[in-house]
Structure 1
Amino acid sequence: MSDKPNPKHRVIDWNPAAHQGAAQADTSGRTKLFAAIAVIAVLVAAAAVFYSVRQNQQPLNPDGTAIAEVEREPAYISRGRAELAYESAKENLAGVRRLPANHPNLVQEITLIEKAFTSAESLIQDERYAEASTALEAVISQMEAFTETVEMQKNANKRYDDLYSRLRTAERVKQFDPTAYDQAYAAIGEGRLLLEQGSFRAAWGAFDRAESTLEDFETRKSTFVADSIRAGQKALTDGDRAAADSSFRAALTYDSANETALRGLDRAETIEQVHALLTQAATAEEVADFDTAIAAYEEAFELDQYSTVAQQGAARAKADQKEAQFNGFVAAAEAAAEDEKWDEVITHYEEALEVYPKREDITEALENARVQHHDAQVFDTLAEAYDLERDYNWDAAREAYERLLDLEPDHEEAIEGLIRVGKTVRAKLEYEKLIELTQQLVDIADFQAAIRRFNEAMASKPGYMEITPDVQRIRETLETNSKPVSLTFLSDNRTWVSITNFRMLGKIREETVALPPGDYEVVGRRKNYRDVVLTLRVRPQMSTNQVSVVCNVRADS
């Protein structure tokens, strides 16, 4: 609903001086009441004269000249217009009658509407349709204005209550602008008085003035509070405790429950320490000392839980630190890749992925590094195995080939190398075993068996192996003891003489035998006599070459 008076509805302001005091308002109100009644009477008389003259006058143009007979509206059109206007006015009047007219002024106004409608109805009965149409249109406008006035009266009390509530709120801070407060107070009082007197439109206008004044008052107060809070927040940013305290207290003077100002006042208590920490953090952040920056930001945030600078600074420093760590790992990985240090490359890329696990480019680079590392391991292990083979380090070479097969189970060169090394190692072991056995045979003076084992060892010896001094001594010993020694065996021609595991000499008187060096057992046997068993150590350059074997001790003695 519009707050402006309808231009078609004439409003009589019964008490324009209502705001000047109760006594004066009562006096002026009665005076105006009488004046209004007089004016209404004059208007009714004027209307009667107007209609009587109208009946005897020719219709006029807007400039006052008479309308020519040919220009007049046809009778059937005037009648149609009049009848339509009548039906509309009749319908509107029914609605107006249902409206609550709970004030004398409203009762008087609806009475005038009823009279005007009755007059227009008489004009239709007299078949003066053109005049009836004009009158009915005026009545419709009156009814619209009346409806709007009733609506105003209906909402005026609520508007008064709202304005009065706002005024009570403003009263607590009226020292902000006492003049504006007094103006709003007076306008609301005036509107209330006009409302009681029935000057609803005038009351509405007074309320408009009060609302405008209150809005200005409240807006300027809110602006002052907001400006004070902004000044306080800037002082917090600058670390100026005194200025922040002053600004927030100024805001709280006119908005005591303002949470931002209350919070700012609390923050001001530690702002100097917080500002120092923020400055330290910012300086450390500039030189990429992220640990110091993060610690300072977090300490500042502990002191001031509402410091977005501290909170955002800590988050930013952590993010920058994370980014720096990531970039450092990637750079180290790339540098190691240039030197083909694939272990280091993999380690650094894995560290980078711990920082940003979802970086697909680093994941791809890591996989590529692992492939390169694998290929390099295969190449280096194979080269190592070859080198170890060339150095006759068969055990280490075998281990290298086994590592290579762990890397690539089907690697042909590794399989061939392992077979080759295995054969060589087995030959080496066989040689060493035979040499050891030869030495054992030498130790027991079984030189012939020793020679056979030594020859077998030399046949199995890998070509790369050299004769060690120990083996050379064995060879010399065997060479020395390889030539037979001639020995003469003497007996009584009745004793059976035999050389165990070599030769049966039989009954002899004297017989020369060529015996290879070694230890022998010589046995003499004769019936009814005890056996003779001699141990014979055959060595080159023996002191004696004769051996006597005679059984001369009877068995029963």
Structure 2
Amino acid sequence: MTNNAPPRLPKDPGQKKLYVAAGSALAVLIVAALGVIFVLPAGFQPNNSPVTANNPAATETAGAKHTATAAPDQSARRERTDAEAEVEQHRITAEMLLSDVLRKQTALESDGIKIWGAEQLTTSYSEALDILATANTSFDEARYTEAAAEFRKVLTILDTLDASKDERYGRAMADGNGALAIDNAESAVPAFTIALALRPNDPSAAAGQARAQSLPDVLKSMEQGRRLEISGDLDGAYQAFKSAVVLDPTYRPAQEEARRTGQLVADRDYMKFISEAIQAIDGRKFSSAAKALSAAQKIRPETHELAELSERLRDERQAAQIGGLSLSARQSAAEENWEKAAAHYKRILSMEPTVAVALNGLRRAERMIRLHRQIAVYLDDPDRLSSNGPLEHARQVLRAATASENKGPRLARESARLGDLVAAASRPRTVILKSDGETAVTIYRVSHFGSFTEKRLELRPGKYTAVGSRPGFRDVRIAFRVSGTGEPTTLVVQCTERI
């Protein structure tokens, strides 16, 4: 589908001028082309007068006539061409300046010049727009020299405005802060709007704008607080003044009123909490006493009476806690729950590092924890006992368990199981190896046996790996376990898969 509607000029005046300038350039090129087609050939039209060697007079007359006619025409054309070239050069210059203006204007408008450039200092943005309108008119009327001069003025003004950003920011901040100082929100808001337009991410400008916008609500809360205090509602007055501080933490009148009324409320509440704490300590209600003292401490953290009550609460609460933990630790030890007993003793020592009962109890609990863990290593993996080193260590652990003075039912059961495992691991078991007489057999950590058809050997219970190899055949690897009970272990190792 083809759209035959004529192209529309952009609404933006600067962009419109670019379209007009482009159209003007196209028109000049068309005129020049027509001149080449229709004017220049006229100078080369042939003379109809006969000119031959037999008619020299005619030749001389024709030549003189042609020279007299062609010279003025060519001179006039050259003058017109030079003038047109000069006009074209001025137009191009004006277009280039207009392009510079549009780029600069676009950049500054993206920086908010419509906001911060409105105020007249040495110049203003409206002044630049007025001269730009005049320049556009000059350009439309083909007064390109005037248009270029006016575009240069616009560029100068825009550069001046760009260079004035810091000064304008400083003036806007001063105006905004001055307005805040006299509670004038109507003047402060636009001032900080200008500052933020100049420096969008500036924290001082953003803070000033926030203060200016919240100022009406701050003043309303201040008035409410005064009315409530007069009516005797001290808590309400304090909350109102505090709300004003929340709205603007830097507003000094709100800070002062909130501090004053807050102190009155604190004095009243402090005495109330001290009284509650004393009663709770006497009744051994330590949580309630701590809560009351904490509330009083938030009001007056360093008073002498608060320090004495806090120390009394700490001592009585600690004595009660140590007594309870000691009882729990003894019960856990009696149940052979040594991990839990150790945790209780550690809590006691974290409160009072010199409690002898806790020190001795922790040492005993940790010793028993280590013993049970060592036993568990072999109970969980009896095959470890197939090696001499672990087997000897298991015997040492078993002797320590047997000699322990804290031997309860749990330790007795685990010691008995470990003793059975050690006894079984100490008795070698018969293992029957069978092969094909061609396969060389090796048992890791035992020996290399070579080729055979059947071989008997004695191995302690545990896990082993047998490997068979035979030239031309793929090796075989067999993991097997020798049990401490039951029939002898029989294992067939032979290579049967050809390579």
TM-score computed with the length of structure 2 as normaliser: 0.32
Name which one, 1 or 2, has greater alpha-carbon Rg. 1
TM-score computed with the length of structure 1 as normaliser: 0.30
